[in-house]
Amino acid sequence: MELERATASAAPAESGPAWAGRPPETPGAADERRANRTRAIRRVLLVVLGLNLLVAALKLGYGLASGSVAMSADGVQSLLDGLANVVGLVGIAVAARPPDRDHLYGHERYETLASMAIAGLMAIGVVEVVEGAANQLRTGDRPAVSAASFAVLLASIAISGAVSIWERAAGRRLHSDLLQADAKHTAADVLVSVAVVVGLVGVELGLTGADAIVAFLIAATIAWAAWTIVRQASLVLTDAAFGDPEGLLRAILAAPGVVTAHNLRARSSGGRLWVEVHVTVDPALDVKGAHAVATAVEGCIREMAGPQTQAIVHVEPAEPPHTRPDPLFGAAVPPRSDSPI
């Protein structure tokens, strides 16, 4: 069954491509947009870095003074948040480099690699937390609990919570794997701080080892957050499909002049989609008319997937064997009853 347009359309006249649609983004405009995105991500990371260092100083200072392993572990996690921001700044600087002879598609996937480095830092934090908690269980040390400890934790929860929400929103707006990974890292820090509060309450109530037990829960939380980051990054690096491929096919088939479509491919890299598709058109069209159809298809793709999407459209005559169905998605729409193909 062939992938055909849902609505009938007459063959376009050779005199003019009336359906040209949204024009493709010029190289200068694309470069400026990417530069603005890089600057925006860098600003977010710098602000988050400053706040993470402030939270780390509060937690480590009090944790070392009071002897709380969980508080100190939480402070180490906040310090690693700051180090993750530094890794992110380096990663986004490399990702912003233009294409060269060794990287024809650009360096954008270094942003995704930087998110995996953040997961690695989180794994180091897991080891540190587990070792500290195990040591406290062996020695039986009991941390001091005071109003100051709760004040430090509540302040850090407020700061880190606001940072995580803001950074996640920025990551979605900028389509940044790096910012969204770092937001998860910071969100894990919030959960860690909440767990530390629970542990300190347990110590105050005389529950032996509560602080260390909570530290183990902290380690599990950090490990899970790291795994989700690695999983998301692996999907990008292995060209996993993103979005709604069948919906994208429907949008392509709705472009004027398109008869069938197949071989759709879509992947994510550096905050934008790369889409490739083969479409068939009226065999009687000249090169100018076929190019106009391809331009219209690019416009439909960007309308659905975003203006930053890079689209490559291969045009073929609407006759066998080019009218074959898509090997992965089959028919995106029911076949037209009046189709001549």
Mean pLDDT is lowest, of 127-136, 154-163, 331-340, for: 331-340
Per-residue pLDDT, averaged over 278-294, amounts to 91
User: For residue 321, is the peptide bond before it cis, meaning its omega torsion is within 30 degrees of 0?
Assistant: yes
Task: Establish if 74 belongs to a structural domain.
Answer: yes
- Other CB atoms within a 10 A radius of the CB of residue 73 amount to 31
Q: Residues 195-235: pLDDT tens digits?
A: 777 777 777 777 777 777 877 887 888 888 889 889 888 88
Strands 310-317 and 272-281: parallel
What does the alpha-carbon distance between residue 212 and residue 131 come to, in Å, rounded to a whole number? 10
Task: Establish if 291 belongs to a structural domain.
Answer: no
Tokens of 122: 């989180």
pLDDT band at 169 (very low <50, low <70, confident <90, very high): very high
What does the alpha-carbon distance between residue 91 and residue 77 come to, in Å, rounded to a whole number? 20
Print burial letters for 218-246: b (CB count within 10 Å at least 16), e (below 16): bbebbbebbeebbebbebbeeeeeeeebb
Phi-psi region of 162 (alpha: psi -120 to 50; beta: other; left: phi over 0): alpha
What does the alpha-carbon distance between residue 157 and residue 150 come to, in Å, rounded to a whole number? 10
Per-residue pLDDT at 296 exceeds 50:
yes
Per-residue pLDDT, averaged over 52-69, amounts to 81
Task: Establish if 304 belongs to a structural domain.
Answer: no
Task: Establish if 163 belongs to a structural domain.
Answer: yes
C-alpha closest to that of 195 among 175, 174, 172, 219: 219
Domain hosting 94: range is 28-237
Find the length of the chain.
Answer: 341
pLDDT band at 142 (very low <50, low <70, confident <90, very high): low
Query: Domain of 220: which CATH number?
Result: 1.20.1510.10
Per-residue pLDDT, averaged over 143-150, amounts to 70
Question: Which pLDDT score is estimated for 18?
Answer: 39
Q: Residues 34-59: pLDDT tens digits?
A: 788 889 999 999 999 999 888 888 88
What does the alpha-carbon distance between residue 257 and residue 11 come to, in Å, rounded to a whole number? 7
Question: Which pLDDT score is estimated for 5?
Answer: 42
Per-residue pLDDT, averaged over 88-109, amounts to 84
Per-residue pLDDT at 32 exceeds 60:
yes
pLDDT band at 242 (very low <50, low <70, confident <90, very high): low
H runs (alpha helix) in the chain? 27-66, 69-95, 109-139, 147-174, 177-204, 210-237, 245-253, 287-305
Question: Which pLDDT score is estimated for 70?
Answer: 63
Task: Establish if 9 belongs to a structural domain.
Answer: no
* Amino acid found at 209: G
What does the alpha-carbon distance between residue 132 and residue 130 come to, in Å, rounded to a whole number? 5
Task: Establish if 266 belongs to a structural domain.
Answer: no
- Name the residue with tokens 């954008």: 108
Task: Establish if 340 belongs to a structural domain.
Answer: no
pLDDT band at 80 (very low <50, low <70, confident <90, very high): confident
Q: Is the pTM of this model over 0.75?
A: no
Task: Establish if 44 belongs to a structural domain.
Answer: yes
Higher-confidence residue of 239 and 57: namely: 57
Question: Which pLDDT score is estimated for 143?
Answer: 60
Structural domain count, the chain = 1
Per-residue pLDDT at 93 exceeds 50:
yes
What value does the mean pLDDT of the chain take? 78
